[in-house]
Structure 1
């Protein structure tokens, strides 16, 4: 009998996760990839493989639709007598992945009128999506690490030599001249042309505009989660981004105007029975209670522009005398909701139209894994990572957010603006605590211990979710500090262990700020700035006035062909800053407190007015609970 290291990769990650227009696409893609990986892991365990990635002590975690997330790369040790037996085990695992994928595809197809589907295209795409690649190496001389490195190198080479099937037999194939999927434009649509009433209903079920298209994977994303024989969903439903964004507003109304919120809920109940809005049943705590149970609905219609658009759409349907969807009754309910929001709750404005997508990744994990010289040490690391991943969903729930994915040191989730910073901080503390013991056991120095870099992308409700995901990726890379030159680092760990926030205002420019988690002074100042805005102690425009001072004084102290007098320029900028702050008034007409002026002046001296203005702008956004507090975009 011989031991073999096996590494299996399941994909494509880009199509399953990154290709998304809605939060549902992103969550469903992450969930589907995790489900395929779990199916692979279960198959390997049935053949007595010892799992390294993922680490599980209880097989319940690997059950279908469990909350446990598994990454797309698995590693295991398989003991067998022949290479033929090894190949057989791997082929069984591959088939288990394919079977799980087909199961979800069949579930999605059953929910649609098949007269609306191009079944020939569906069948041609169904077996041409999931990519399963593997590599293995024999463990010789009990050298587990050497075998792992060999298997990893072989898998990397295998990924660079993929099998490319021909796209067409001839250039005149009619199916290749169909519209492509609106999610990524890679594959042809499986939807027939929108010509009949029933097709309209199909498109509403898939949340599609008349011009949008979906391929097989896109349909699975929109109709995923699976159902049992009674039609009940067996996987947790993801929370729409609008519900997460509107959470602070809903909590405020619930506290200040509970009767008005009850009226909104009553209207929503009727709209939900008419299939106009969706119910939110996911993100449950340990007591099986959704944290959004006080308003368990998609909150999109709480936004005036979305409500107006919905009313226009139903007026068009009503004009065609289409009584199939009870258009008149729906229009009446939408009108009641509009009046309620415009009149009775006018002083509260509407929920803010922005939310934060959080993307986090562990730092120095490669260095930690290099310290592991045995299988037992390797498993100790994966056990610690699994413990952290198991806590992520609860941490995000405590901050009114919803975890999309948590596998090892990778985290992705949505959080409301006013809870985004606290959530990021809680996650990095949990990560450090989870890895501390195993890092100590492996003799890792404090300065090289694993840490968590977190990126927060603040984007508009109507921003395509694929773009939001790209923004989060930019923020996470900025947090990693790859843009910092080694010679510019003050300390060796400054390029990692950080928080980066990217604010992408619709129709405006993007702003980024970055704080190293060890920068206690900077973080404390930033939290204080958020508090100033919460208490209305500084006006919103001071940040923009700082930007103006910075821009008009940039050339001061510079001489043609001469030296750059940076000290003179800084003194001029700080003097202008003090003068501006002395003249500024809060929303209530009061002068800014001298202590606040002094703190802003000191911070400006430390980091410059341009960076200070950026910090204040983002602090103001993180303090807001309604769009009214943010003003015009």
Structure 2
């Protein structure tokens, strides 16, 4: 049997990662996907080498092209080594690719079952303690079948495989193009098994595909909408929430591990300032938070107010959040009682007693520093024109070295995100997903773009590869899935920009429709945002500017642009009107600062984009003020946003 080039793809990625209500679902789901992919990749090359026998003298790890580890065992042991959903390998002469593909699928399935068993044991210990079932075992068993002889590795984790003869007479890039087309066709023809629903059992709240494995609430109390307090605590369930086996595994897999919440990330600018403004008051606040956390841990190992690990030697670890390593929701007065109710403290008087000292310490800090912000950012980034670089690889060895350079970049991403106070969800190759505080998000995106381009220059000094980034600004009370979906949408919007190499940002205010803007990195959107922020800090533009700009856009919406002369007249009139609107407050003194920011305005849609970038810059500026001094005057300094929101 000749040598083959094989591609494996795991999925469905959206189900594995993006279906999330808690950040734990998101972080653990992405890490679990990486671990499953590593298991499949390692099993595939080990099986290929075994089947090839004496025909394969090279070590098994050298058969892997994507990923390209130096040592298989180190890859499997290193929890920070991320692998994406796509795997490429060489199947040496004498090895049957069908057997290799089957082995990879079985390994992926076994790894998923390993995670599921661990989660089931964790819940089982609580069932033994309270002597009541929390999981419907029949439904759980049907979703965690150990049958390894099925065509796909279970309904939850699917593994697709395609392969072609690795003929050296055919150009290597042509082989890559062919196997990519085959994989697109294979995933389009996925196995659609007959639905096997269970009458009367609700579906999972996260994806709506599979039945919930949770015992019906009526077995615990008369309120069918309420789950038992212990289930609320163990599984962090909201009212009426249902989880399938995969959802439960993401929620409790590997026991007690705390991940930064969207509330903690949204509050981060305020925490950075408040922790340094009056260290004595801040330490008092942390002491009260630690008391609450300690009481929480004494009641149950699954502390709802648990600390995230800040020791850089552990995994997962978030030393960037050492200033306040607790659940951020406790910092918001309107969320405190709901939060403690989720911690299975249903009695209101008990909650008020527990919160009294903490609220007193929080009020002392807020007197000087104001209240924490409520918006955070989800980031999705992907490389552009990476395929062009791959087409220049002449063989698998060069491709493997290219993969190692991509891995080098991915390994640096965690540190770059942490430097900007963010939390990395995953970085596999040039695919990046992270959560960031609002004041540092665009700066982080720019740093990642620069690092990626520097890495690609090491591969090819003539490289034109770039990084397109999508950012979604969302309220921490908004559904996490919605903010993630907006970030994915913005990443696609950025890549759709002519020439790609763009930043796209969406902002979803609580009181209006989302707004977006897109700008090429070549036009330096970071500098443009900073200039608008500075103009607002100086109160150099009117508070009602966004409203006025919308009216200008409508006035010029249907102006004729049939000739070059008409286009020129429109642009001249537009810019003159924009300068008039934006310089109402400071007059001619501010024109030199405004005119360069309007240089690319050519039509009514461009006016709306200026309106949107001003509103987004105002929200970012508000977060930047929170991280610095004078935060109590933010409402005055950033009233342009209040005046510009769509209501």
Assess same fold via TM > 0.5: yes
1:11 and 1:131 in contact (8 A); partners too? yes
Q: Deviations over 1:573-596 (max 9, x none)?
A: 555555555553xxxxxxx48553
Aligned equivalent of 2:491:
476
Aligned equivalent of 2:84:
71
Distance 1:132 1:566, change over 3 A: closer
Aligned equivalent of 1:453:
468
1:25 equivalent in alignment to 2:55: no
Work out the CA distance in 2 between the residues paired with 1:512 and 1:450: 25
2:418 aligned to which of 394, 397, 400: 397
Work out the CA distance in 1 between the residues paired with 2:311 and 2:425: 10
Aligned equivalent of 1:4:
4
Aligned equivalent of 1:219:
248
1:600 aligned to which of 591, 594, 599: 594
In structure 2, the gaps of 5 or more residues are: 50-59, 128-132, 146-154, 222-226, 297-302
2:234 aligned to which of 170, 181, 205: 205
Work out the CA distance in 2 between the residues paired with 1:314 and 1:165: 39
Superposed, 1:152-167 pairs within 5 Å as 152-167=180-195
Work out the CA distance in 2 between the residues paired with 1:558 and 1:88: 65
Q: Deviations over 1:117-144 (max 9, x none)?
A: 1010000011332212212222234544
Q: CA deviation at 1:558?
A: 6.9
Stretch deviating more after TM superposition (501-510 or 194-203): 194-203
Q: Secondary structure at the match of 1:400?
A: coil
2:329 and 2:339 in contact (8 A); partners too? no
2:290 aligned to which of 228, 248, 269: 269
2:163 aligned to which of 132, 136, 140: 136
2:518 aligned to which of 498, 503, 514: 514
Distance 1:80 1:388, change over 3 A: same
1:3 and 1:77 in contact (8 A); partners too? yes
1:242 and 1:299 in contact (8 A); partners too? yes
1:241 equivalent in alignment to 2:268: no
1:96 equivalent in alignment to 2:107: yes
Work out the CA distance in 2 between the residues paired with 1:90 and 1:34: 18
Superposed, 1:427-466 pairs within 5 Å as 427-440=448-461, 445=462, 449-466=464-481
Aligned equivalent of 1:363:
384
Aligned equivalent of 1:496:
500
Q: Secondary structure at the match of 2:398?
A: helix
Q: Secondary structure at the match of 2:228?
A: helix
Aligned equivalent of 1:193:
216
Distance 1:81 1:340, change over 3 A: same
Q: Deviations over 1:392-426 (max 9, x none)?
A: 10110111111111011111101111111110011
Q: CA deviation at 1:296?
A: 0.8
Distance 1:193 1:571, change over 3 A: same
Distance 1:555 1:302, change over 3 A: same
Q: CA deviation at 1:362?
A: 0.6
1:180 equivalent in alignment to 2:169: no
Aligned equivalent of 2:149:
none
Q: Deviations over 1:198-234 (max 9, x none)?
A: 932122221112311100011111112x25xxxx76x
Aligned equivalent of 2:543:
541
In the comparison of the two structures, how many residue pairs are matched?
A: 583
Q: TM-score, normalised by structure 2?
A: 0.82
Q: TM-score, normalised by structure 1?
A: 0.84
Work out the CA distance in 2 between the residues paired with 1:549 and 1:167: 53
Q: CA deviation at 1:70?
A: 0.3
CA RMSD of aligned residues (A): 3.2
Q: Secondary structure at the match of 2:512?
A: coil
Work out the CA distance in 1 between the residues paired with 2:305 and 2:508: 28
Aligned equivalent of 1:384:
405
Aligned equivalent of 2:142:
124
Aligned equivalent of 2:552:
550
Q: Secondary structure at the match of 1:10?
A: strand
2:331 aligned to which of 294, 302, 321: 302
Distance 1:141 1:579, change over 3 A: closer
Distance 1:81 1:254, change over 3 A: same
Work out the CA distance in 2 between the residues paired with 1:193 and 1:286: 38
2:529 aligned to which of 526, 531, 534: 526
Q: Deviations over 1:157-208 (max 9, x none)?
A: 332333333223xxxx7x3321111111111111112243893212222111
Work out the CA distance in 1 between the residues paired with 2:293 and 2:345: 20
